[in-house]
Chains A and B, each alone.
Chain A
């Protein structure tokens, strides 16, 4: 059953890197605005054809 220690370690590493990513996301202001991102993706950046 010793493999469980390895699995736990690896799972912790993965979870830890997710945690780090989470802190980065919060700190860098990814989640400061929780309204516009949902709406922004709806805007299509269609380019008006000038010279295709």
Chain B
């Protein structure tokens, strides 16, 4: 910047209040989210801890994932961004009001998640469980965040956009797109909606979202934070700025195509799976570019790492990032995935990333920021070191037993005796085998939480000892405008002078409009069944399916028999794409804590399911599944059945025109038949209970392809 042109310094101040608030929210929700995690970890060891219908594993697991991803990591990202953004742009945030709306809006969204998920109000799509009104709120708050961010960029005093800012921009853009596309759903009531997509399509969209949520919510913003805070804490420039530029652009271009690696060996077409694998392998290069750039920043500063807890946390975080981004591509190889998928290996993998990379980076940043913003020294180095060691131990105690559990479980699932039969035909054997490892994992989680609480104490003590600088004074030269714009000119004039850009922009606008119109019809058409015997669910089965979603059964049970000998012997015929065309949403699951359920239909009598829900130990000794006795008592709510049928027809399920009039009657008839059937086994249950609907759904699962032509005709009558 030439000093002759613009000599005077502008004075302004940085907003530290918003940063402090986000840090407080991160720590509070972090501890809560981790405690929920500890609870569900213990529930797998002591099923008695599923103490209420709102506190079963199936309902709490989404609460844990949402809390740690969006409340802990999310608030942490905002804290780090709001701090570094102002310094990098040499300006206060564009609008304090927008900052406040961003903060309070985000906390309200988190509270609404706490209020809805335990009640079973969920879409069932992983990390996108929140129902449609909350989805809209998320979109609005995200727009506020983006508005504030771009406003700040526009009024910046530093022309060059530091690499961290690029990571923030990519985060904003991509998360917005992912969230909107994956949340396409048709509302049935205020708290219930169905995914617009069905079966394979829904799975593909979901994991395109799910994978990129990891990429653009837990990776790119954290890399941005790494590029700002690691050099600042070490007080030396990043190892290679050039590498950071290359690694940024390569990372965002490659990451977005890797989603299908979550669906290997499923009913997703093979070519789409292979495409996902190729990109997943490629993403290793930019990931390690970033990891090495972060670590090498500390070259010649390792003596500082020995003393400074901030750097210690950061080093472990970056190392964990390196391990996870090596493991991820390896897990995406089909032969490795065949072993790891559906097991605890994946749980270990994500916690290496969550606890190590995300958690430790945030802790390091907070130990750096709080003393700085309170103009004092950290209250206790000793406690920070304690946190570092107990946290590291926690990660190890968490991850190692889970890796072990993953290998053990997979090996047991696949083992055949020399006579060619399954060595462990009873799935439960492969579950009870893991109990001790599940317990050790809970110990690891507890250690990690203790560390986090110690940090909270240390930070509070630090804050109390210092004096908070709410508005940090700063000064910088004004940004000189090179291509002078006539003052008062309308912004649109810019584009008018550029016909090519004009063309491109209009094309994009048209494309978006066209897409919005075409997508619905396009998708509905493609839901035409490819297997003629696959029929829509009956009203009772549909209600039962919604109970399956409400209870979060998909958190522990998959509905996807992979084409392996071991799975065909254990469960039955492998799952085919055409079987899921009416599944809004898909319920393939991602983890088998319990057995796969796609071929459960007709496997056991109705009474077996009744007893199993009453108390799983009645049918399966030592089962760790929670009891669902309340399903036997609760009356099935059929007030929305008609709306559900209409909604399903809108999104392409071929219920006959006017079927709504008969739906309730059909539902009652089928329910009566099931109740009568159970009476034969001496079970007295009225046909208006929830359990009846759930049994109807479970008995239907995976049976359509077994239907013979003559039974089909009977069914239609």
Contact = CB atoms under 8 A, between A and B. Distances in A.
Interface of A: 1-4, 6-7, 9-11, 13-15, 17-18, 21-22, 25, 30-31, 33-35, 37-42, 45-47, 49, 52
A21 B177 contact: no
Given A37-B162, A42-B237, A2 B256 contact: no
Interface residues of B, number: 52
Contact of A45 (B232, B269, B475, B577): B475
Contact of B519 (A6, A15, A37, A47): A6
A14 B249 contact: no
Nearest to A35: B241
Contacts of B577: 1
A47 B11 contact: yes
Interface stretch (B166-174, B302-310, B623-631): B166-174
Interface in B435-475: 473-475
Contacts of B511: 9, 13
Nearest to A33: B160
Interface in B147-192: 158, 160-163, 166, 169-170, 173-174, 177, 181
A13 B269 CA distance: 23
A31 to B, nearest CB: 6
A41 B87 contact: yes
Interface string B627-657: 0000000000000000000000000000000
B491 interface: no
**Closest 6 CB pairs between A and B?**
A38-B237, A2-B526, A3-B201, A38-B241, A47-B473, A34-B242
Interface string B260-296: 0000000001001000000000000000000000000
Contact of A3 (B170, B177, B204, B238): B204
Given A3-B526, A6-B515, A52-B473, 13 more contacts: A1-B204, A3-B204, A6-B522, A7-B208, A9-B511, A14-B174, A15-B252, A15-B253, A17-B173, A42-B236, A45-B90, A47-B475, A49-B473
12 contacts: A2-B526, A3-B205, A4-B204, A10-B181, A13-B508, A14-B174, A37-B162, A41-B87, A41-B237, A45-B87, A46-B474, A47-B473
Contact of B523 (A2, A13, A33): A2
A1 B197 contact: no
Interface string B486-517: 00000000000000000000001001000100
Nearest to A52: B473
A15 B161 contact: no
Given A1-B201, A6-B515, A41 B253 contact: no
Nearest to B161: A30
B105 interface: no
A13 B253 CA distance: 11
Interface string B217-245: 00000000000100110011110011001
Given A2-B522, A18-B170, A34 B232 contact: no
Instruction: Name the residue in A1, A21, A33 with the highest tally of chain B Cβ atoms < 10 Å from its Cβ.
Output: A1
B415 to A, nearest CB: 35
A49 B13 CA distance: 13
A29 to B, nearest CB: 8
Nearest to A39: B237
B249 A18 contact: yes
A35 B162 CA distance: 12
B11 A1 contact: no
B200 interface: yes
Given A2-B201, A4-B272, A47-B475, A38 B231 contact: yes
B238 A38 contact: yes
Contacts of B166: 25
A35 B228 CA distance: 15
Contacts of A37: 160, 162-163, 241
B476 A45 contact: yes
Contacts of A52: 473
A18 B161 CA distance: 15
Contacts of B331: none
B231 A41 contact: yes
Contact of A14 (B256, B515, B526): B256
B397 interface: no
A30 B241 CA distance: 12
B88 interface: yes
Nearest to B216: A14
Given A14-B173, A38-B238, A41-B231, A1 B200 contact: yes
A9 B237 CA distance: 39
B257 interface: yes
A50 B87 CA distance: 21
A47 to B, nearest CB: 4
B197 A3 contact: yes
A43 to B, nearest CB: 10
Interface in B3-17: 11
A22 B169 CA distance: 12
Contacts of A9: 511, 515
A5 to B, nearest CB: 8
Interface in B200-217: 200-201, 204-205, 208
Contacts of B272: 1, 4
Contact of B269 (A1, A14, A17, A22): A1
B228 A41 contact: yes
A38 B242 CA distance: 10
A22 to B, nearest CB: 6
Contacts of A3: 197, 201, 204-205, 523, 526
A13 B504 CA distance: 12
Nearest to A47: B473
